[in-house]
Chains A and B, each alone.
Chain A
Amino acid sequence: MSLLDRLMGREPAKASGTVARERLKFVLEYDRARLTPAQLETIRDEIIAVISRHVDIADGQVDVKLEQGGRLIAEIPLGRGAGARTR
């Protein structure tokens, strides 16, 4: 990798074997969880609906994904008007 690449913040190309391993780990999380894309979408929508009742969230940026070891992680950025809502 050249000095120019480093200055421009380009990362060194990974060896394809490493890429293969990372792709496999990612795809197997989903295979093993047996969650369909449709189910993930539904989970995401329902999380947005529930949390929105309590705080203001930036629902365009809510992300639900599977992490290593079979954990479902939801990232829920709060909106600008965040703070507990009074009903």
Chain B
Amino acid sequence: MSGLRQLRGRVWAFFAKRVLDAELEAEFEAHLQLAIDEYMEHGVSPSEARRQALIDFGGVQQAREKQREARGLMHIDILLQDLKYTVRKLMRDPGFTAVAVLILTLGIGANIAVFSVVNTIMLRPLPFPNAQELVWIAPPPTKCGLSCATYSTDAYDEFRAGSRVYQDVTGYFAFSLPGNLRVSMGKGVPVPATSIDVIQNFFQVLGVYPAMGRLLNADDARPGSAPVIVLTDAYWRRQFAADPDIVGKAYDINGKQTTIVGVLPKTFDFGAVFSPGAKIDALTPLPLYGEPRNWGNIITFIGRMKPGVSLAQARQDAAVVKPSMCWNNKNPESCGSYKTPVPVPLKEYVSGRLQRSLVVLWCAVGMILLIACVNLSNLLLARAAARSKEFAMRAALGAGRGRIVRQLLTESLVLSAVGAILGLALATILLTWLSHQGAIALPLLSQLRIDGATLGWTLLTAVVAAIFFGLVPGFRIATGNLHEALKDSTAGAGQGRKHERLRSILVISEVALACILLVGAGLLLRSFLRVLDVDLGFQPERAAAIKVEYDDSAPTNEARVQKRITVYRHIIERISALPGVEATGITDYLPLDRNRSWGLPFPKGVKRPQNLNGGPLVYVITPGYLRAMGTAIRGRDFTWDDGPGKEVVVMINQSYARFLASYAHWPNNDPVGQVLDGGGRDIRVVGVTNDVHEETVEGEAGWQIYYPAMQEGTVGAELVVRTTLPPGQLASSVLLTLRDINPNQPAAEFKPISMLVDHANSPRRFFMMLVGAFALLGMLLAALGIYGVISYSVTRRTQEIGIRMALGARAGLIQRQILSQSLWLVTIGIAVGAAVSVGSAHLVASMLYATSPWDAATYFAIAAVLFAVALLSGYVPARRASNISPLVALRSE
């Protein structure tokens, strides 16, 4: 109790220093007056009385200090003194301070940014309440893309009803195409937007509540109910100018008056979690019992497990439900045909693949901080060497060792605090930029922000860094010999040499760390180049795609097909006539985008083996499409004569052809002209195409089958144009032509096909760029370190060099000697770094593509780079040394 009061008094005293000091002075004055009065009463002369009074009082300054100590917070006072002194000291050496702060800003800033990314993607739970209960439920991976990773609506019903371990199961329509909405905002052309159809309980299962209005309910999903839509926060702001009265308004969307029933909270970003790199503007109800019943596998499952249920229990449960799941309830033989669904934590589905890359990234950025610290240690040591006399003097005047170390630690803490603050600013800029990079296919990027954990991490790195780089030189100085330091006036004595050895070790470790980083970055770069070199089966350069809208409404199905063919043909003829267009065609799905499959056509007359899994991915195309994509065909392309009612024709890709040929007995194993059994009808193969990487750039190409758009239904239309001009130049004329054909054509983006590839490669590019940037930074810091040490040793040996030159040593020899010193440091550093890299290669191996983690070329290249850097950073001081004039050198003491 009195302790508390005392503390309050002390804190008060600490802040009210001036008032209290004035009061104390007044008290002292009164005290002396009273004493003088008493002496004078006894007949002592005034001056003698004053003298006596002062003697009795004792040391005034001492009494003052004692009183202050008793009343205030001594430690903080000392700290403030140290701080004041430090700031003064640092201001006096702006060059050093600027370099140190810059190094720390880069080191700490990079660490904060990467921590934030790691935290958001890997450490933090998904942005849903009790996110650990959420699981992603999908069949084990097979060879037919998204169609084999999804379920039918009947299967969904069965799974939801049959499972015992879930609070509820939901899902969404996995095949929504970007720009699937055409929103008419009053007059003018409709604006494209992207929405995802979700099962009506989607938001309840995830635990998302509306920011405005309501989300979806069971009525919305009933077939024939009034169309409703829920907007995302970003879309509401962008398209509707954050209209506060938006709820209840209706707009013409895809030709139907659709009511906006609610706006999602800012924290919910569908794309960020389920479809990284895609921008989702709105969510719409999926009418489970309407048309989608006949669409086959379309739904991805997300379940919320009951509290306390383990993943193993969920797996067992899935095995129990599996036999009763039917692809279509009207089709009893389809029951039990699904493979057992595998629930995995949603978090793992979202970011599991990235874990290794993130850890590597984290290590890389940690190494940067380590290099930065070593570098600063080095700088501080150099400074400390210059200041050793100052410290010796202070020690001689009675400063304890602890006090000196404390002073040095204060210095490093101040530096790292400034570095941390600037680093935080740097990280904020980086993160803001990154969170708006919608095109990087990494999950949760839009959720990046500086949060409590990040601030904690900042504090931790700053303090640890300060202690790390401040303590080494601190102890070095504090344990130094006083007398020697005071006498050490000639820069050549033992202390200086010891410093130099320590600094050399620091530089070697810097070079080693930089070497490890560079090797890692080099390997990633090489992998990336290899990935860019992959033959995708199509030529992304100078091709671009635009989503085409058309009107094929007609009373009968036949009429609709006929109308569509006419429209397609018209579009292609008009676009082909544009100047600069080399080839053009229409497809419904693009490669490296969404995909689907429709079962497995098999050679006619050959017995279908049991346990055939998967099926080729299906693309419905017009004549000319493959030429526009740059995919080679053997046999023939479709023609407009392959119309409805004619023989059904297809093209298949090489790997599917190889697979089929291994069962059929085709002459020369050539499928061209052969007939397949496509689910009860005959289809003739008219061409074999190159393998197209349809799902990933890096993986193997799978099976593909192409149907002519004249014979199969299409889902949307992407017009692909191959040009002799840069696609950007053609964009407006293509759009104008399309609008001329159909005035309702929205202002869709004319996106280069290379964007699809870039998008697929974006995670790899992201990691490579970051690790590369860190490696360059590390190299720069190492170069700075080498320069510092060599330069210092030249300064220290000015006299020696002067004498040697006076005795006839040539400039070239001196230069060579200095350079060889720097090469030595680098050689040892590279040796250590390379050894560590070789040893830890398995860590990066999984991030590489067609590159050995022991890739000799990379190692040699990095070594060469580091040698060049060493030569460069050693050259400047070496040149200075060789320019030393003996006369000046000898006089320099």
A binds B: no
